[in-house]
Structure 1
C-alpha cells in the first residue's frame, strides 16, 4: 500500500481505519506509517495522525518504539492541532516508560496551561498527566490547582473531565 496516496485519497473514518488495519499488521508496516507521518508534507502528517491513534489504542505496544519521536515531533511550532490531539489521545493507552516521564509531564503541563490549545487536546493532556504523576504528590497538587483555576472558564467537556480527575486525585 502506498501510504501517502491512501492518506491523501480521502479523509474520513473509513479510510483512517483502513490505513490503521494495514499499518497494524506488523511493526514494519507501522514504522512505515510513522515515517510517512514524520516526513509529511503537512496535510499527510495531519491525516496520518488519526490512523496512528487508532493503532495506538488497539495495539499500544506498537507505539512504544516510536514514542520519543512522536513526543519530539508534537512540540514543534508548525504542527497541526490534529497532531497534538491524536498524540495526546494515543498516550492515554500507552504505558509510558519512566525515561519519558519528564518530557511527557512538561508537554502536558504546557498544553494544559496554554490559552491557545483546543479543549480536546487539554482533556487528553490532563488524562495522560494524571497517569504519569500517579506517584508524585507535588505534581498532583499542581495539576489540581491548574484544573481548579480553569474550571470557571472552561467548556462542559473540560469541566466534566477535570472534575472527575480532581475527585480521583489523592488527598492533595
Structure 2
C-alpha cells in the first residue's frame, strides 16, 4: 500500500480503518504515516490525523518516539482535524514528564480560545485533567477556565466540563 495514495483515495471511516489495519503495530509504517501527518499538504495532514489517532488508540507504543514532534506540531497553524485528533490521542496516553509543560500550555490555549471547536476544548480538558494528576498546582487554573465557560458553553462543553471538575476535585 502506498500510504499517501490511500489517504487521498477517500475520506471515510472505512478507509481510515483500512490504513490503520495495514500499519498495525509496525513502527516503520507508522513513521511513514507520521511524516505525512506532520507535512504541509492540508488534505493529507487532515486525513492522516484520523489514522494516527486510531493507530495510537490500537497501539499506544507507536506514538512514543514521535510524541515531542506531534505535540510541538500543535504550536503551528494546523487544521482543526489535526488539532482534534492530536489532542484526542493525548488524552489516552501517559505524557512523559519532560513534555507535560508543552502539552499543558497548548491545551490551556485551546481551552481559553473562543475560536476552538467544542471537541478540541473537550479533549483539551481531559488532557489537562490527566496532567493535573502529576501537577496538582494546575488544578485551580483548569477549574477557573472551565467554570468561567460553563454558563455559556454548549451541551458538550458542559457535560465534559462537569465531569472534569468532579474528576479533579480529588487531586
TM-score of Structure 1 vs Structure 2, range by shorter chain: over 0.9
Number of the residue aligned with 1:89: 88
- Written as runs of structure 1 = structure 2, the 5 A alignment for 1:53-64 is 53-64=53-64
Q: How much has 1:95 moved relative to structure 2?
A: 1.2
Number of the residue aligned with 1:38: 38
**What is the SS of the residue equivalent to 2:133?**
coil
1:61, 1:94 within 8 Å by CA — same for their partners in 2?
A: no
Number of the residue aligned with 2:49: 49
1:63, 1:94 within 8 Å by CA — same for their partners in 2?
A: no
Number of the residue aligned with 1:69: 69
**What is the SS of the residue equivalent to 1:169?**
helix
Q: How much has 1:171 moved relative to structure 2?
A: 5.8
Number of the residue aligned with 2:114: 115
Q: Distance in 1 between matches of 2:44 and 2:152?
A: 34
Q: Distance in 2 between matches of 1:135 and 1:63?
A: 20
Distance 1:171 1:15, change over 3 A: closer
Q: CA RMSD in A?
A: 1.2
Number of the residue aligned with 2:4: 4
2:46, 2:81 within 8 Å by CA — same for their partners in 1?
A: yes
Aligned residues: 171
Number of the residue aligned with 2:162: 163
Which TM-score applies when normalising by structure 2? 0.96
Q: Distance in 2 between matches of 1:171 and 1:90?
A: 24
Which TM-score applies when normalising by structure 1? 0.95
Q: Distance in 2 between matches of 1:163 and 1:38?
A: 33
